[in-house]
Chain A
Amino acid sequence: MRGLLILVLILTSTSVKGQLLTVLDKNDTPVSFVHVRFTDIDNKESIIISNDMGVAKLPNDLNKQAGILTLISHISHVTYLDTLLFIEDITIHLEPSEILLDQVVVTAQMTENISENAVQKIKIIDQKRIAAQGAVSLRDLLEQETNVRLSQDNILGSSISIQGVSGQNVKILMDGVPIIGRLNGNIDVSQINLNNIERIEIVEGPLSVNYGTDALAGTINLISKKSGESNLFINSYYETVGKYNLDCLMNYSANNHQLSLSGGRNYFDGWSPSDNFRLIPTATIADTNRYKQWKPKEQYFARAQDVFSKNEWSIRTYADFFFEEILNRGFPRMPYFETAFDDIYNTWRKNLGVDFNTKVNDKNLSVIVSYNNYKRIKNTYFNELTTLEEVISENEADQDTSVFNSVMSRGSFGGAFSENISTEIGYDIVIEEARGRRIEGNTQNQGDFALYSNTEWRPSDKLIIRPGVRLSYNTDYTAPLAPSIHIKYNYKKFILRSSFAKGFRAPSLKDLYFEFVDINHNIVGNPNLKAENSNNYQLSVDWKNIRNNYIIRGEMSFFYNDIHDLITLANTADDAYSYINIGKYKTLGTKANINVTYEFIKFNAGVSYIGRQNDIDEVAPYSYALEWISNCTYEITKWNSKVAVYYKNTGALPSFWMNAEGEVLESTIDGYQMMDVTYSWSNPRNPLKVVVGCKNAFDVKNVNSISGLPGAHQSDASGMSVGYGRTFFTSLKWSLK
């Protein structure tokens, strides 16, 4: 009897063995409410949720004789996927994901840091959001960010403003190297492609200590992908408005080298409100429909990068190239619509550089040297529409070439020098040359040499005080001293950050050396200009509460920008105009955001209220604009899918201006709403990932801008381009590992 009992026990125990999956985190604490999906060799699937001991029991009806594909997912941990053989009970340790760990940031940090520990308030947009939103260029992402407003000019491109301050005061960096080539002070953010970008770090408020000029309103740093594996990705993107994009990325890793090559082409066939939908572009008749509100654009880009890392040091060498052609077909001319003037704008960007990083006695040493070139050519053609014969226009003013060349180098050395003091010291040199038609002498050079230093003092483990200062010498203007001070205090679940920083914007080469003198005009630059100066005050509070199946984060922030010596065009003598430092511009605002992650739902809502005052005498009142965003993603693990909704409501933007009689008048740009809805499908065993969706669900095209600005040279803007109506897109990514 006892023998039989033992036999039964042995028999039942062998079938009981190899049935339990225990999920622990890296501290050996059980992780409960974990979703586990088992798929056996016969493709039979079963989903189990772990109990509060972190245990999930393998269902009996699965075939345990071969390996079982096991997918374990939990909100605050990295998804685990592997084929397991359940001979014995198995215990798996999960890695904490970025939500728990907080994300890595590098912008203006002495060493690689996590965003929770950074003294500055840094917003991160990661790869998941870029993919889920179907974003192709930086413009697509910023369309859904608070405190960032986009302004579209269909030839000059998309320009941005942060905290109410215009894009000429926003520094855009690629891996820490400034992007050059500003038109009227703005960088066209639709020229910045995201195919190679890992994440984007956005800092509001001046980072002038580290980055010098143009970082007055904020800094956007794009961090490129640096993969440690060998793989190949091919991506295609199609949008019903007429966008056909293809790009590929290849990574190869061997012998301490990580080589990466990427390239692609984006094509947009233009859009006008009267356009009919066509799946594939066809030849069209040269009638009045040839004029498009959104111009056809073709972009080519390519990049090669090598990262060599050994022990403590790494060298990254890169070269990238970008070409864009914008075709502006003119409206056929009265009275017979048989001729037209067409413009073609070609832009080339070339960037080469070397980035060297190492550790010396536990302190970070990094040096970057980079060469950047930007060229933009405008050509105008006179087109005979009855024969389609094109002749390059003889008028000298119709052809234009602008070239910017710049060589920059930045280096920094810093780290912890004692238990509670870290210091870094760095240099930043930029030498640039600009060539163009309306520049005095047609060529101008400028050299900027700066030294900067930041110190972080931790008197307690809750408080960090970081003063910083930058001293620069510039060959063209007197660069101001730029000090800043940041304070960060941790109190229970709250993080308080407060800062004061001075920012500046150098007079551009156009402000200094512009020359437009003919019989009817007299506008010259002013070589004695000073830099624009600003004082920025910020205060923010962040709060985070982590529970087992939900995480809540909230933030609230205030800012105040006071810009003086704003460079404005003013009447200097009878008929002569020049640029002088007399303008004043103030912005102030507040932003609040709440973020909830519950099981597989992530929800985010935010509101921002910004006031702007633009006026020399400070007579005009502040004009306020409200915007709020809301987005939500829902992961459906059963179907390997994710549904995401992104919504932004940009409120009406009033502005005040003074007419010749000294009366203060108001003009308004209407508000609008942008919503994108996307569906992503991604099965880990399938090399194909698909994202489909609808962009601009509210079909927004133009918004009214009631300006009524007078003057001989102002056109009455009846509508501003904001979007091209509702579109549908598909994004297919195929990968080979």
Chain B
Amino acid sequence: MRFFLCIIIAASITGCNQGEIPISPHASGDLETTMIEIGSEYKNQIFYNLESNSVVSQNEKTDWDLGFLTGVDDWHIVINSSKAGGIWRVENLDFEDTPEIEDAVWEFDSPNGNLDSTAIDDYRNSDKFYVVDLGYSSTEEQLGYVKLKIDSVNESGYFIRTADLAHEQESFVFIEKDADLHRVCFSFSENFAVDIEPLSSDWDMLFTQYTNLFYDPFSAYLVTGVLINSQYISVAVDSEKEFNEITYEDIESYSFSSNQDVIGYDWKDFDFDSGFYLIYAEKNYIIKDGLDQYFKIHFIDFYDDLGEKGHPTFEIQQL
């Protein structure tokens, strides 16, 4: 009977977790792999150059609020949509009045960068002013509201007035158009133009959070991805060919787009079952830069090697 007892005990304790055997790493060949650190709280905005495969400049997303376009005849103003704030166009009040926030109707910029559908519409020849929702910081604190009125705009710059909602303080600011930059960035907390964007010809892609608009039902949702420098860059998307098979000869068959969000955020998707992002490595982006050079990239990860999100990683090769 002891014999049976031993069998019983032996049979039952053989069940144990035996661990795993590691796999061998893949051969990466001559592809370069680059990781951009937006940070797990999506704090940073990072300007990147394809040719040098390097970060040209970076800033925190809360460092600026509005971007003033620098074209000689241009009057457009865009929002820093990484903070998820919108614009309320106020027409029947005076700038000195205090508007009720509950009445606000929020407008957002179109994520594809189309200047015909900006939240700040044509204010020239009008008395309207804007309430700007400064959005959220990367620690999800609400930053508040301010009022903005553009008194006039000409080929040298913008004359604006800013004030808090209760109009206890008012400032006059002149924002000079700098032709080397795509936009001049302005911060309400500094009440000054701030140094954010590098020279327009120096950067190709901006890694940042931005507000994407969904319709039916309408919602403004904060996503993380890539906005291109639409002045100089255009991109084609190829989800059929393997990344390694795309060659210079394929370029003629592609149609390129200059939409700001052509690369966007959907090279990844959040999977609710596992709680992690899945990467669509089959989405290949063929990029034509300002000097007519061609590159191909595809994303291979969104996490760094500590498992922190906010670290888009991609492979890049010049064609």
Contact = CB atoms under 8 A, between A and B. Distances in A.
Interface of A: 234-238, 242-246, 265, 267-269, 280-287, 290, 296, 298, 327, 330-331, 333-339, 341, 380-382, 384-388, 391-395, 397-398, 518-520, 575, 687-688, 713, 715, 732, 734
Interface in B277-299: 278-281, 298
Contacts of B11: 236, 238, 244, 732
B18 A236 contact: no
Interface stretch (B191-199, B258-266, B306-314): B306-314
A246 B273 contact: no
A386 B1 contact: no
B282 to A, nearest CB: 8
Contacts of A246: 8-9, 12-13
B29 interface: no
A282 B14 CA distance: 10
Contact of A281 (B18, B272, B308): B18
B84 interface: yes
A677 B199 CA distance: 77
A339 B15 contact: no
B186 to A, nearest CB: 23
B274 interface: yes
B307 to A, nearest CB: 3
18 contacts: A244-B12, A246-B12, A265-B12, A265-B13, A267-B15, A283-B21, A286-B22, A330-B274, A337-B23, A338-B23, A341-B274, A341-B275, A382-B307, A388-B20, A519-B136, A687-B1, A715-B273, A732-B11
A11 B280 CA distance: 100
Given A394-B40, A395-B40, A286 B23 contact: yes
Interface size class of B (residues with CB under 8 A): 35 or more
Interface centre among B221, B276, B305 (most CB of A within 10 A): B276
A235 B19 CA distance: 27
Contact of B307 (A234, A331, A391): A391
Contacts of A290: 20
A286 B15 contact: no
Nearest 7 pairs of A and B residues by beta carbon: A382-B307, A244-B15, A246-B12, A335-B281, A267-B15, A393-B307, A236-B8
B215 interface: no
B307 A395 contact: yes
A153 to B, nearest CB: 10
Contacts of B26: 336, 338
A387 B17 contact: no
Contacts of B276: 330, 333, 341
Contacts of A397: 275
Given A286-B21, A734-B8, 20 more contacts: A235-B8, A246-B12, A281-B17, A283-B19, A286-B20, A286-B23, A327-B17, A330-B274, A331-B274, A335-B300, A337-B23, A338-B25, A339-B303, A339-B305, A385-B23, A388-B19, A391-B307, A395-B40, A732-B4, A734-B5
Given A246-B12, A518-B140, A715-B272, A688 B308 contact: no
A544 to B, nearest CB: 40
Contacts of B23: 285-287, 337-338, 385-386
A124 to B, nearest CB: 29
Interface centre among B18, B301, B307 (most CB of A within 10 A): B307
